[in-house]
Structure 1
């Protein structure tokens, strides 16, 4: 409890130091509900946007229950801030708009660092290095290990609309058939049951899906992905105080065992 109070007081101190009239952190006029710092101090609530479809980082089941590494991490941050965590469902197509519109204070769950997102919102320090890799039926292992093998007429590549997986596929493939599929929680079923041939996704998701169905699905080369990317948390613009607070927490969480404890039930 003492640590929680101290962290919240530190947040209040930064808020006061950054105050210069109008919005306490100098956020643009008209920002809904003020900045994250304004809201957290006033309400003791941390609103967290997530798609809920990116295991092992985030998952929302049919009953509405949330789980995943990033859900536990966000809950830890809320606790450190003396706040309660409220999950805000979003989609990959609307995530950036939801963040910039102030519908949440933080977005988590496999958010890749991209230039377009960074231009409109603020990323934390990265917490995961990753990259795109194929996941296929184990019987097809080796058939779709390169982009040349994949980008052929008749090869069906499934994509979840709106995210970096779709962006990667549409930028790199011209001959293969791209099959949009809107539900990322069941998208891998289309590979498993033969409706599609493969999905190109981040290595962490490919590893988890393969581990969940080891006799059916296999990740092609998760240790040597097609590209390299970083995952980070995304924060609305105009609140450097909150960015600094989250970065300090995240940097500590990556070294003090907090991340490892959150990851262990999912990654072993």
Structure 2
């Protein structure tokens, strides 16, 4: 009798422990989802979208935006700064999960990455040394030396127009070096996204000015490798929509551009 009671007692204990183990495993799974960390490619030479402040902290429109989306959608991020031209190759190599870097949505890029809904309307513009009067449109670039940043839509636009119009194209790895090259008179003009150069001129002592109309109507999007991260893409689109609905999106934009 005592033996049967002992066996029954042991069986009950095993069942209780098994139930506890199942509950713990379930909770662990939830924790793993909440603690998911995505590697985010950024280009910190691209104010007001991405740059380092005086304390060495990453800041800017893109930084604040992806942080707010991550908080809204309950995931974590790990920033990976690099040259803009290396971001998509790093995604292809499996080193990044997502990219937010003032990246224009283009048909060529859509072959490699999937974009979120657009989060900013930019557009390319011409920039010259202050006081330059000989350049006001793309047609005025004949015989000139034109600067652009590698891997950008500005560089692509300039490459497509160089032979047609007849100008020399010089490409740079980062925006500050390109800006300085034109300010020093080494290149005649540069092609850059309007909000980026407008902010750079306003915040620095660069002897530059914007001329003419915008050359196109580029829109920025957040990117993931094509067909590889649909779940994250949905989260980012939902987070972006929530930020716009709550007013947080406008708050971020106004913080840097005062629009």
Q: Into which bin does the TM-score normalised by the smaller protein fall?
A: 0.7 to 0.9
Structure with greater helix share of residues: 2
Residue pair 2:123, 2:218 contacting (<8 A) in 1 also = yes
Residue pair 2:83, 2:173 contacting (<8 A) in 1 also = no
Could you say what secondary structure the match of 1:238 adopts? coil
Deviates more, 1:177-186 or 1:122-131: 177-186
The equivalent residue for 1:164 is: 153
- Quote the Cα distance in structure 2 between the aligned partners of 1:185 and 1:62: 16
Change in 2 beyond 3 A, CA 1:46/1:131: same
Task: Compute the displacement of 1:90 (Å).
Answer: 2.7
Q: Deviations over 1:42-64 (max 9, x none)?
A: 74323211122211111146975
| Residue-pair matches, total | 226
The equivalent residue for 1:86 is: 78
1:253 aligns with 2:233: no
- Quote the Cα distance in structure 1 between the aligned partners of 2:154 and 2:203: 20
Could you say what secondary structure the match of 1:200 adopts? strand
Task: Compute the displacement of 1:167 (Å).
Answer: 0.9
Q: Alpha carbon RMSD of aligned pairs, Å?
A: 2.5
Change in 2 beyond 3 A, CA 1:183/1:239: closer
The equivalent residue for 1:74 is: 66
Could you say what secondary structure the match of 1:171 adopts? helix
For structure 2, the residue ranges without an aligned partner over 5 or more in a row are 1-31
Residue pair 1:100, 1:121 contacting (<8 A) in 2 also = no
The equivalent residue for 2:7 is: none
TM (norm. structure 2) is 0.78
- Write the mapping of 1:67-216 to structure 2, written as runs, cut at 5 A: 67-140=59-132, 142-150=133-141, 152-153=142-143, 155-174=144-163, 175-213=166-204, 216=207
- Quote the Cα distance in structure 2 between the aligned partners of 1:107 and 1:213: 27
- Quote the Cα distance in structure 2 between the aligned partners of 1:115 and 1:239: 19
Deviates more, 1:189-198 or 1:210-219: 210-219
For structure 1, the residue ranges without an aligned partner over 5 or more in a row are 1-39
- Quote the Cα distance in structure 2 between the aligned partners of 1:228 and 1:263: 18
- Quote the Cα distance in structure 2 between the aligned partners of 1:88 and 1:213: 26
Change in 2 beyond 3 A, CA 1:65/1:94: same
The equivalent residue for 1:241 is: 231
Residue pair 1:127, 1:254 contacting (<8 A) in 2 also = no
Deviates more, 1:195-204 or 1:40-49: 40-49
Deviates more, 1:62-71 or 1:191-200: 62-71
Could you say what secondary structure the match of 1:190 adopts? helix
